[in-house]
C-alpha cells in the first residue's frame, strides 16, 4: 500500500503547500490517520498557513539533532497531525536534510498516509524527499513554463530512483489557454490525477489561517481536494450539490484544459 507521498513542483508559487494542507485535511476527514511534513526547510510556510509559526519545536530542531521527532508533531485541523519546519534562517543553517530519511521512516509507521511538502526546484534539500517516499506527486500550473519545470523535476525524480504517482494541475482557470493545444499527460509523461480550479476562496481562507476545505466546504477547489483524497485512499467520492453552478464550472474547466 502506498503510504508516503512527496508533493513537489519545479518552481515556487504553484500552490504546492496549500494543496498539501488541504489534501491532508481531506484525508483526515475520511477518517484516515494522516501526517503532513514540511520538508521545505529553507522556505517553510506550512506553519504560517496553519497558524503554527510560534510552536517551540520544529523539523529544524529535529534535523539539527536537538530534538526528537515526537516533540515536533502537533495536532492540526480535523485530527490532522502536522510536523512544521521553522521560519528562521538560523534553524535552516543548522538542519541536516540527510536526516530526513530517518524522520520519514519514524513517521510512516505512525499513520496511514504521510504527505511530504518538498522544496521547489533542484537543490540538496529538494532531492532527498524525491527518493524517500513511496510515490511523488507533481504540482503544476497550466502554463508552459510551469509544465517545463515540472518535467525537469519528474526526470530528476526518476534519476533518484523515485516513482511518480501522477500530476495535479493546480489553479487552473477557463481563461488559461496556453496549454490547450497540448496534452498535459503527453508533455509530462504521467497521468493527470485531477484539476484544481482557480478559486478565490483559497486565498480568502488563507487570510483567516483556515484551510479552504474547512472554511469553504462547497467551493470548487474544496471539491477537487476531496476528490483527490478519495482517489488516494481508495474510496468513492460522492459529489455534494450535484448539478450546481460550481460543478458545471469544474466540468467546463476540465474540458478546456484537456481538449
Break the chain into its structural domains and give their ranges: 4-258
Cα torsion 93, 162, 182, 245: sign: negative
**Helices (H) then strands (E): counts for the chain:** 12, 8
User: Does pLDDT of 250 surpass 70?
Assistant: no
- Name which residue leads in pLDDT, 132 or 165: 165
Residues 259, 157: Cα–Cα separation, whole Å: 28
| Residues recorded for the chain | 259
Q: What is the full DSSP assignment across 23-43?
A: HHHHHHHTT--EEEEE---SS
What integer pLDDT is reported at residue 91 of this predicted model?
A: 81
Distant-in-sequence, close-in-space partners of 135: CB < 8 Å, separation ≥ 6: 2, 4, 5, 6, 162, 163, 164, 165
Cell 513554463 belongs to residue: 145
What integer pLDDT is reported at residue 174 of this predicted model?
A: 59
Residues 50, 78: Cα–Cα separation, whole Å: 12
Q: How confident is the model at residue 1 (pLDDT cuts 50, 70, 90)?
A: low
Q: Which of 53-57, 191-195, 197-201, 245-249 has the lowest mean pLDDT?
A: 245-249
Q: How confident is the model at residue 128 (pLDDT cuts 50, 70, 90)?
A: confident
Q: Which of 116-120, 220-224, 239-243, 246-250 has the lowest mean pLDDT?
A: 246-250
What integer pLDDT is reported at residue 181 of this predicted model?
A: 39
φ/ψ bin of 47: left (φ > 0), alpha (ψ from -120 to 50), beta (otherwise): alpha
User: Does pLDDT of 48 surpass 50?
Assistant: yes
Average pLDDT score over residue span 71-84: 97
CATH superfamily assigned to domain 4-258: P-loop containing nucleotide triphosphate hydrolases (3.40.50.300)
Average pLDDT score over residue span 3-24: 93
Which whole-number Å values give the CA distances from 54 to 36, 50, 69, in the listed order?
18, 11, 17
User: Which of 23-37, 126-140, 237-251 holds the top average pLDDT?
Assistant: 23-37
What integer pLDDT is reported at residue 245 of this predicted model?
A: 43
pTM comes to: 0.88
Amino acid at each position: 500500500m502506498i503510504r508516503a507521498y512527496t508533493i513537489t513542483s519545479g518552481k515556487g508559487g504553484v500552490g504546492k503547500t496549500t494543496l498539501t494542507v488541504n489534501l491532508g485535511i481531506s484525508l483526515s476527514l475520511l477518517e484516515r490517520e494522516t501526517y503532513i511534513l514540511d520538508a521545505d526547510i529553507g522556505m517553510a510556510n506550512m506553519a504560517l498557513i496553519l497558524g503554527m509559526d510560534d510552536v517551540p519545536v520544529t523539523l529544524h530542531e529535529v534535523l539539527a539533532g536537538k530534538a526528537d521527532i515526537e516533540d515536533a508533531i502537533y495536532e492540526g485541523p480535523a485530527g490532522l497531525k502536522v510536523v512544521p519546519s521553522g521560519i528562521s534562517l538560523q534553524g535552516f543553517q543548522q538542519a541536516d536534510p540527510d536526516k530526513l530519511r530517518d524522520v520519514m521512516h519514524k513517521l510512516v509507521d505512525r499513520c496511514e498516509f504521510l504527505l511530504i511538502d518538498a522544496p521547489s526546484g533542484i537543490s540538496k534539500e529538494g532531492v532527498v524527499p524525491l527518493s524517500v517516499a513511496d510515490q511523488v506527486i507533481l504540482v503544476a500550473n497550466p502554463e508552459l513554463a510551469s509544465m517545463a519545470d515540472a518535467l525537469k523535476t519528474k526526470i530528476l525524480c526518476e534519476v533518484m530512483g523515485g516513482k511518480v504517482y501522477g500530476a495535479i494541475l493546480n489553479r487552473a482557470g477557463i481563461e488559461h489557454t496556453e496549454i490547450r493545444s497540448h496534452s498535459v499527460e503527453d508533455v509530462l509523461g504521467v497521468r493527470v490525477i485531477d484539476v484544481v480550479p482557480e478559486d478565490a476562496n483559497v486565498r480568502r481562507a488563507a487570510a483567516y489561517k483556515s484551510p479552504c476545505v474547512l472554511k469553504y466546504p462547497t467551493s470548487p477547489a474544496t471539491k477537487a481536494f476531496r476528490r483527490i483524497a478519495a482517489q488516494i485512499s481508495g474510496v468513492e467520492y460522492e459529489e455534494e450539490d450535484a448539478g450546481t453552478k460550481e460543478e458545471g464550472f469544474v466540468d467546463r474547466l476540465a474540458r478546456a484544459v484537456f481538449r
